[in-house]
Amino acid sequence: MAYENKCVDLSQNNMNNNKYVIVRSAQSGIHAGWLVSQKGDTVVLKESRRLWRWVVARMTGQLATLSEVAIYGVNSRDERSRIAVALPEMTVLGVCEIIPATEAARRSIEEA
């Protein structure tokens, strides 16, 4: 059975640059960083971090969705959260979701 890509076509997305975003990729997982550019399902991020797993900052030890991460951020003190080191720039292929993050979420991810 062939893999069917269920991701949304982002080619019509008009997001502004200079936004801190969380990106879901079908091939490479979850990334957070400053949106540099987006063409189709390819996104370039600067100061990009991979989010391996997370506990949301304002929830009592619960693992939660990326929507909560984008609003509340991550609890970096919880040992279950695992956020990778920042890369200066990264191209992410196969993007199916771009979520703008709040300032609180950005700070928590960058401090993790």
CATH number, span 20-111: 2.30.30
Beta pairing, strands 42-53 & 29-39? antiparallel
d(CA 31, CA 96): 12
Q: CB within 8 A of 24, min separation 6: which ones?
A: 30, 66, 95, 96, 97, 99
- Say what the pTM is: 0.80
Q: Which helix (H) or strand (E) holds 39?
A: strand 29-39
Could you give the angle at the alpha carbon of 109 between the alpha carbons of 26 and 24, nearest 5°?
Answer: 10
Q: What is the pLDDT along the chain (112 residues), one digit of tens a residue?
A: 343 444 444 444 444 458 999 999 999 999 999 999 999 999 999 999 999 988 777 765 555 788 889 998 988 777 888 999 999 999 999 999 999 999 999 999 998 8
pLDDT at 13: 45
